[in-house]
């Protein structure tokens, strides 16, 4: 066994130990719903074969769930008066809610009243990465669903405009460290973003609102390309690939782009302002350590997936992910 393999095994064991204290287990449904992962994967394979671009939104939805109230499925809840998490500005561009409901319905058909929406979403996120040619990892399960979803609590989400200080603080609040920050940021290797999430870097970096008010840290040729796609601050519809050329493939190109100052968001560029995150980016920008990064990503995803979970008799197992049980 190589030293790298030993290290990865030790890291996963440490994360597994923390999951055990929260009553999460990889084989949690081994008796009550032994085929749950197969049911989820069947739906994922079918969906991504038709719409591979759905992988990134589903992964993003899991992130947004875990950073607000922990991984409890609260991002999936509807609200009659539009005050739920999904109604908040950072979540208005989330998509895939109907698909999650379809997967949950398939799971309910196989195992009624057994598997939480929080666990379904966590499995969906793992398969979204794996089916995009990324790493596979065993998912500790046993989460319960929350019943509270409040839009103004989404201020716990790391915004794309954040600097390194804000990013590290928001991650630390979820027991995630500086390595988790740079590793999980690489989820931006798949997916697209609306222009309004970064256009201030192109036209309004210091508040002057003109074509010369640019972010000087953004590579000039990349900036010109972005300006050709996002014509103004008022563009609310155009989508831009976060990892141009391979935005449907989970790979190491994100690190190459960020190392060249071509990260799309403030938060991507901010990773170059910290010694540890910059060194990590430069190492993986070489493309020579794919297995190492994939192992790191798996560890950080399991760690994030254990954030503030409800277990045991806490919460509930929702029949439908959009509404609490009555």
CB atoms within 10 A of CB 297: 21
- Distance, CA of 95 to CA of 117 (rounded, Å): 16
Output the CA angle 149-164-123, nearest 5 degrees: 45
Choose the catalytic residue: 64, 188, 266, 284: 64
- Give yes or no for a contact between 298 and 186, defined as CB atoms under 8 angstroms apart: no
CA dihedral 116, 122, 127, 129 (to 10 degrees): 170
- Distance, CA of 153 to CA of 145 (rounded, Å): 17
Consecutive H or E run containing 263:
none
Give alpha helix (H) positions in the chain. Answer: 3-21, 36-50, 55-66, 97-110, 117-130, 164-172, 178-185, 200-203, 220-229, 253-259, 266-270, 275-285, 290-305
Output the CA angle 182-185-188, nearest 5 degrees: 145
Consecutive H or E run containing 239:
strand 239-241
- Distance, CA of 153 to CA of 97 (rounded, Å): 19
In sequence order, the 6+-apart residues with CB closer than 8 A to the CB of 40 are: 103, 106, 107, 120, 123, 124, 127
- Distance, CA of 63 to CA of 268 (rounded, Å): 16
- Give yes or no for a contact between 37 and 89, defined as CB atoms under 8 angstroms apart: no
Q: Give yes or no: 266 in active site.
A: no
- Distance, CA of 162 to CA of 8 (rounded, Å): 30
Q: Which residues are catalytic?
A: 64
């Amino acid at each position: 066994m190589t030293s790298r393999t030993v290290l990865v095994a030790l890291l996963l064991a440490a994360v597994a130990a923390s999951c055990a204290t929260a009553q999460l287990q990889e084989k949690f449904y081994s008796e009550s719903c032994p085929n749950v992962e197969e049911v989820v994967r069947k739906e994922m394979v079918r969906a991504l074969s038709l719409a591979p671009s759905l992988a990134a939104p589903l992964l993003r939805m899991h992130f947004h769930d875990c950073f607000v109230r922990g991984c409890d499925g609260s991002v999936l809840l509807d609200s009659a008066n539009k005050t739920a998490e999904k109604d908040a500005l950072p979540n208005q561009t989330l998509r895939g809610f109907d698909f999650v409901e379809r997967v949950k319905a398939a799971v309910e058909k196989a195992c009624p009243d057994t598997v939480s929406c929080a666990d379904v979403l966590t499995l969906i996120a793992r398969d979204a990465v794996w089916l995009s040619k990324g790493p596979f990892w065993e998912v500790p399960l046993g989460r319960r669903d929350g019943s509270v979803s409040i839009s103004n609590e989404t201020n716990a989400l790391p915004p794309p405009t954040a600097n390194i200080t804000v990013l590290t603080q928001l991650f630390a609040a979820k027991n995630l460290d500086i390595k988790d920050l740079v590793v999980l940021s690489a989820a931006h290797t798949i997916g697209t973003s609306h222009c309004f999430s970064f256009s201030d870097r192109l036209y309004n970096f210091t508040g002057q609102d003109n074509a010369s008010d640019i972010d000087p840290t953004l590579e000039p040729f990349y900036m010109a390309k972005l300006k050709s796609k996002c014509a103004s601050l008022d563009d609310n519809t155009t989508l831009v690939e976060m990892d141009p050329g391979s935005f449907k493939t989970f790979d190491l190109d994100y690190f190459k782009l960020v190392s060249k100052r071509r990260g799309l968001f403030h938060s991507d560029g901010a990773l170059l302002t910290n010694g540890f995150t910059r060194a990590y980016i430069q190492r993986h920008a070489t493309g020579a350590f794919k297995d190492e990064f994939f192992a790191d990503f798996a560890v950080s995803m399991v760690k994030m997936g254990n954030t503030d979970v409800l277990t045991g008799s806490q919460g509930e197992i929702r029949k439908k992910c959009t509404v609490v049980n009555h």
